[in-house]
Every structure is written in C-alpha cells, then in structure tokens.
Structure 1
Amino acid sequence: MKAHDLPNVNPELFMAPATEELSANAPSEHAPRILLLYGSLRERSFSRLAAEEAARLLDAMGAETRLFNPRGLPLADAEDASHPKVQELRELAQWAEGMVWCSPERHGAMTGIMKTQVDWIPLSIGAVRPTQGKTLAVMQVCGGSQSFNVVNQLRVLGRWMRMVTIPNQSSVPKAHMEFDDKDRMKPSPYYDRIVDVMEELVKFTLLTRDHSSYLTNRYSERKENAEDLSKRVNQRSI
C-alpha cells in the first residue's frame, strides 16, 4: 500500500530503514548487565534461591549481575520515592540492560513483595525510562504442583513496563524438594530449564541492548512531539 493511500498518517514521520539506524550504533563491549528480583522475605526463600542459581548461571555466561534484596522496601506510595530502598531499586533498574523476575505463587498469584518492587519502578524518571526496551525473563516457584499463574502475570507486567519479555520461562514445582541442604538446586529437568532461560536471556540482551531506542521508537510519540513543536513555533511567531 502506498503512502498516499493512508490519509490519516504522516509518512514524513516514518523512521528511516532499519539498516541505516542499526548500522549507526557501535556494539557495546561490556558484559550484559542483569538485575534479579525475587518475591519473598522468608529466611529460606526458594524464589531467592532460584534467583541466586540464575545469577550464578548468568555470571558463568559472561553477564554482570545484581540481586536486589527487597527487605525494607516500603509498600508503593507508603513512603516518598526518596526512601533509600526505593532509590537503590530505581538505580539498579536504570543500570540494568535486562532483568529476571522470580516470585513464589501465593493464592494463585504473585506475591505482594514481587508486585511492590515492580510498582516502585516507574515508566519514566525524567527523560529516562528504566525498563523500556530492556529484556526480561520470568520465573516462579511453587509449593505444590506446577503452575504457570505467576509467570503469566509477570508477562503482563513486563509488557506494561514495555520490556522485551523472552519466550522461555521457568516454573519449579514443589520447590522445597528441588534444593539440597546447602541451598543449591539439585540436578533435574527444572534446573536445565533455568539454564535454558538464562541462556536465552543473555542472547536476547546482546541482540537488543544497542538497538532498544530503535525498537521502542513509536510513530504516535513522534507525531505528538512534532505537534508540540509546531505549537511552540506558532506561539513564538505570534
């Protein structure tokens, strides 16, 4: 379809072909930066243990990881955003190029601890968008039989936060049986799946991190910016 067949669209705002945009970016040489969040404050938290296993794998794959401890993080809006734990979380979110979210399933859903962490990460901080275009892997641990309620919910959150949520995911049933007395995950197909997920996360992060601004550049936003600029120019000329 030709541009003149689209009367409600301004073709002048279409982006340049991808080859021109992508070739202009020099590839990053630093290790992929991955932030891991988990959703439980228990002393022996299986979501934390699973996240720690994921961090070990990511480190072995050449990534640089940070694990955020949610203890002390207030409920969203219960404190000002200047709270030290909020600032720590937001700074890590801006530092990261990808994330891992791992939550237990409680009453068929993610925990409040997990949701609170996501709720404290805004879509934008000034001109910076802490999550847009960054990669995301979702995981859950279950007390009983395997479920996918939590990872499905985390995917919804990932889309809302404008993240590139990778296709693969991990759900560990009867998590209390999957870790030994040294808090290391036992060999199993569930462990192998976590390896698969982390490997895929690293691949997607390497492929997209230098091009996230291109991948998330929207026509509607360019149109709005152009209209705002036109209004300001007209106001100055009056």
Structure 2
Amino acid sequence: MKTVLPNIVAEHFHAIQTDKLALSGEPTHPPRILMLYGSLRERSYSRLMTEEASRVLRQFGAEVKIYDPSGLPLVDDASESHQKVQELRELSLWSEGHVWCSPERHGAMTGVLKTQIDWLPLAPIGGVRPTQGRTLALMQVCGGSQSFNAVNQMRILGRWMRMITIPNQSSVSKAFLEFEDDGSMKPSPFYNRMVDVMEELVKFTLLTRGRASYLVDRYSERIESAEVLSKRVNQKSM
C-alpha cells in the first residue's frame, strides 16, 4: 500500500500542538481550509500543487475543501445567484483559512484565480464578509525559472481582502519537472517548502481564528452602518 505522504520524513513531521496556540474556550474543531487554484488545463500544475498541499494539510489535522473553478463565469457576466458563485461564497464563509495557488502568466496571477477572488466581495454577505479575518497562504508554479511575481501580487490582493496573510510562501520553478506521472509531487526542496507553508498556515489559523473578529474590528466600520457600507463598496462606477 502506497504511503499517503511518501516524501515526508516522519520523525521530523511534528503534529501541531493546539494548546500552544489557542486559548482556553476557543474553537477546538479541525481548522477549515479552502483551497483555490488558477488553471483549467487537464494537467494543471497549480491544481496538482494544491492537491499535494491538501494531503499535507489533512495530515496536520485540517479539514480541507478544494474549489473547482471550471464553469465559474466572469464577474458581471452572470448573476450572483449562479450555482458556481454561490458554491464559492458558501465555501469561503465556511472557511477559516485559504490557500491560493496560481501559475504565473504574463508576469502575474491568472485570470482564473483572480476571477474567483473577484466573486468574493468586500461587502457583507448576510452581515459577514467572506474573507475578512481568515488566514491566507500563497503558492505559485512557474513554467521556467523561479519567480515571485504571482505570490507578490496575490499578497497585495490578500491585504485588500482583509486577510491575515502568513509570512512564508512557495514558488516552484520548472513545475513540469517536479511532478510524477500520477500527479504526486517529487521529493525536493520545493516540496519541503510547501510543507513549511502548510504547517505555518495551520499554526496561524489556530492562533487567530478564535479572535479573528476582534483582530479585524475597526473604528471606521463601527461608525458606519451596514447599509451605507454596502452602498459604498458596491458602487457601479467610480
């Protein structure tokens, strides 16, 4: 039987010590992580990277859901009631942390990844923002030499979405050389860095989720009604 994580050196893979990160009385359920990837190709390396990272997250004790962006329309090209839009928003509201993984295309994240974020508005959905206060980990795959354009751009986007973006990040160069035919990731320093990023994400999620609402509570929003806020951030033109 094939080991779930054949690249892991078990003696150095430490279980997350929740008691060192969460205060008494805070949530004890597994961290809820939503993963988004940025390519629809049949052999998508951002999807393969996401799937590999999901196995690591589950080993760290997280509950993981991966969103399939196939069929998600462009923003304003369909109603918010579209099934794929509703699925994405419900998953984001369910989540306590995100992982975004994009190929670098023309020196930036892909439109596939950006469209997913664009469907998650800053305005409240039922009084709750779908990203505010959630943790965020960033990864990118490159067709050539290592670059950080996509992760740096996504880091800016994460800040705009009012997320707690962890310091560590992953960028895999020549991704076509880093995966087996079955889609699993080969052992390498790139694999080890991905594990580092997932470990850090789980730790930051446990550290912040029980107090995220307080961490992102802001004076400017306390004096602005929800109705006025919604009108301001949903303007049709600027």
> Please, what TM-score do these two structures have when normalized by structure 1?
0.83
- Once the two structures are superposed, residues 179-203 of structure 1 have per-residue CA deviations (whole angstroms, 9 ceiling, x without a partner) of 0111110000000000000000000
Match of 1:101 in 2: 100
2:46 match: secondary structure: helix
Match of 2:205 in 1: 205
| Structure 1 portions without partners, runs of 5+ | 1-21, 229-238
Q: Is 1:142 the equivalent of 2:136?
A: no
Instruction: Give 1:27 shift.
Output: 1.0
Instruction: Give 1:126 shift.
Output: 3.0
1:133 match: secondary structure: coil
| Structure 2 portions without partners, runs of 5+ | 1-21, 229-238
Larger radius of gyration: 1
Quote the Cα distance in structure 2 between the aligned partners of 1:130 and 1:223: 21
Give 1:166-177 correspondences, 5 Å limit. 166-177=166-177
1:199 match: secondary structure: helix
Which amino acid letter does the alignment assign opposite residue 128 of structure 1? V
Quote the Cα distance in structure 2 between the aligned partners of 1:76 and 1:220: 28
**What's the % identity of the aligned pairs?**
69
Quote the Cα distance in structure 1 between the aligned partners of 2:30 and 2:126: 26
- Once the two structures are superposed, residues 153-173 of structure 1 have per-residue CA deviations (whole angstroms, 9 ceiling, x without a partner) of 000110000000000000000
Give 1:20-31 correspondences, 5 Å limit. 26-31=25-30
Number of matched pairs: 204
Quote the Cα distance in structure 2 between the aligned partners of 1:96 and 1:31: 11
Quote the Cα distance in structure 1 between the aligned partners of 2:151 and 2:189: 18
2:210 match: secondary structure: coil
Quote the Cα distance in structure 2 between the aligned partners of 1:173 and 1:76: 31
Match of 1:190 in 2: 190
What do you get for the CA RMSD once the two structures are aligned? 1.5
Quote the Cα distance in structure 2 between the aligned partners of 1:206 and 1:138: 18
Instruction: Give 1:145 shift.
Output: 0.2
Instruction: Give 1:29 shift.
Output: 1.2
Which amino acid letter does the alignment assign opposite residue 127 of structure 1? G
Match of 1:72 in 2: 71
Quote the Cα distance in structure 2 between the aligned partners of 1:122 and 1:57: 29
Instruction: Give 1:221 shift.
Output: 2.1
Runs of 4+ more than 3 Å apart: none
Quote the Cα distance in structure 2 between the aligned partners of 1:159 and 1:172: 23
Match of 1:4 in 2: none
Change in 2 beyond 3 A, CA 1:224/1:83: closer
Which amino acid letter does the alignment assign opposite residue 186 of structure 1? K
Give 1:109-128 correspondences, 5 Å limit. 109-123=108-122, 124-128=124-128
Quote the Cα distance in structure 1 between the aligned partners of 2:86 and 2:217: 27
